[in-house]
Each structure stands twice: as C-alpha cells, then as structure tokens.
Amino acid sequence: MVDDWAIKLKGRGGEPLSASARTKVIVALKKIMDDAVYHDYLVQNPIKGIPTFRDTSPEREIFTREEIEQLFPHDYDELLRIWQSRIWIAFYMVFAFTGRCPGEVSALKPNVWYRDIGVLIIKNSIDTHTQEMIPIKTSKRGVKKIRAVLPDRANEQLLLLETELGLQPDDLFFTMNGRPLIAETSNKHFKYSCRRAGIDLKGRTQYSLRHSFKTHIAMYSTLSQAQEAMGHVTKSMFNHYFHPSDEALALKESGRLPERRTFQDAVEYVFG
C-alpha cells in the first residue's frame, strides 16, 4: 500500500521523514494521479482516499538564556576554547543572534553587511546538497529579503574576521576548503562546541538556536517586530518557533517585561 510505503520513506541521511514531509509526498502523488485521470491515462485516482499524516513530532526544545551565555561567554579566551576559531565564533554568533538558518549565514558576503550600524540584508542561502546560491525560502511567500540586526559583539567579530581573511565585497565570509559551509558540517561542529561548553544537548540541534532566538527576542519586542525579524508572514508560523515557559509568558502578558524602544535595543539586551 502507498501509505505503508510512505511511512518507510527516509531522508538523504537515512533518517525517517517527518510527518509533514511524508504528507507532501502523498499530496504530490495525488496531484500526479489526478493529472493522469484528466488526460485519460487512468480511469480514477487510485490513491485519492489515502489520508495525510498527522505531525506527532515533539515540540523543539530551546536553549535557555543561561545556556546561550555559556556558549557565547564574554571572555574571548573561553569563547575561542569553545568554538576553536574566529570563523566559527562569527558564524554561530550571527546564527544564534539573528535567528537565520545555516544556509543563509553561509551565503553572507561583506556586500550585504552595513557594518556601521550592524545590519545584514539576507537575500540568499546556500543549498545544502548543491552548495549553490539560491534565494531565501521566504521569497516564495513574497518576502525576498530580511533585515537582520546584530548585537555589537557579533558585529565586532565580523569586522575582525573580514580583516583577518582580507575579504573582498563579493567574497563569502564562511568557507571550508574553498567551498561554502553546509549545515551538516556546521551541525557536527556545533555538537562538539556544546560539549566543550558543558551543555547537554538533550536531542537539540543547531536549528534549536532559531527557535531560541524567536522565543527570547519576542519577550522584549512587539509581535510585528519578531515576525519581521524571522520573515514570517503568518501567526501560525510565528507560533511554530515560539516556545516560552508558562512563567515567561505570564510575565510578558502582565506587562512586567517592558518592550525595548527599538528592535535593535531588544537584540542588544538579550544577546549583547
């Protein structure tokens, strides 16, 4: 049966596909079969009645602000011990402090960075499989560029990296052996860095940093500011990344966590 086959589908790395990914496969097959019926290749769609899969995956856990401080201490020697090089320090500061995905960070060049004000304009991403530059995913939803605000210490690390590597405006910031960094490589390094920082991942991955950014920054900014920072056009997508504790949410709703004057102020307060 098609549904049994879909359950057994695996990703490129051999991991089982998520319920949402399996649903997309079934929906695509249904459309193909509908088209075959329309062109008289089939009398009826043989998989029309197959249900989609309900997503039962657990909610992604976030890193607490205390854990983020462990990962990114203000003491540079300790920071270097954890991340091993300035490239990884800058890569993960941008990743964790802007909420962008690994491919978007890998695609960054000096020519999309307004260093004087600490702002990045995110338009492209590196495809994990082809290592080619592609438009960011939100382009399909009409959001073709995203403005990412850096706290001062992340902006400083980019300045130092640019100087250290002698980068030209169209060079990539983050490469390995002449090729862009890909998510698989960065996630392996992330695991070892967490171990050096004394953090038990408990099933979390580098993608948990995106959820952590959204959750923490939303406590000190407006809903519209947080949505814009992530490139989300719907509240449901916002909620997918928002995982506050009951106590934190109660504080936010009570007004006892004052919103910062600007989004830049919020970023500096949470991650600076």
Distance separating alpha carbons of residues 180 and 174, to the nearest angstrom: 6
Helix/strand/coil (H/E/C) assignment for every residue in 51-81: CCCCCCCCCCCCCCHHHHHHHCCCCHHHHHH
Phi, psi of 213 (to 5 degrees): -55, -50
CA distance 127 to 97: 22
> b/e map of 111-127 (b: 16 or more CB within 10 Å)?
ebbeeeebbbebebbbe
What would the two tokens of residue 23 be? 């649903």
The per-residue pLDDT for 219 is 78
* Distance in angstroms (rounded) separating the CA atoms of residues 251 and 160: 38
pLDDT value of position 257:
60
Q: How many other C-beta atoms can be found within 10 angstroms of the C-beta atom of residue 44? A: 9
pLDDT in tens, the chain (272 residues): 555 666 566 665 566 667 777 777 777 777 787 777 766 778 788 877 777 665 444 456 889 999 999 999 999 999 999 999 999 999 999 999 998 889 999 999 999 999 999 999 999 999 988 899 999 876 666 778 889 999 999 999 999 999 999 999 999 999 998 999 988 899 999 999 999 999 999 889 998 998 888 888 887 776 666 666 666 556 566 555 566 555 555 555 556 666 666 778 888 888 88
Contact status, residue 73 vs residue 62, Cβ threshold 8 Å = no
Global pTM value: 0.73
Question: Which pLDDT belongs to residue 272?
Answer: 80
Q: For helices 183-197 and 76-83, what crossing angle results, to 10°?
A: 130
> What CA–CA distance (Å, rounded) separates 270 from 134?
31
Instruction: List 179's β-bridge partners, or say none.
Output: 176
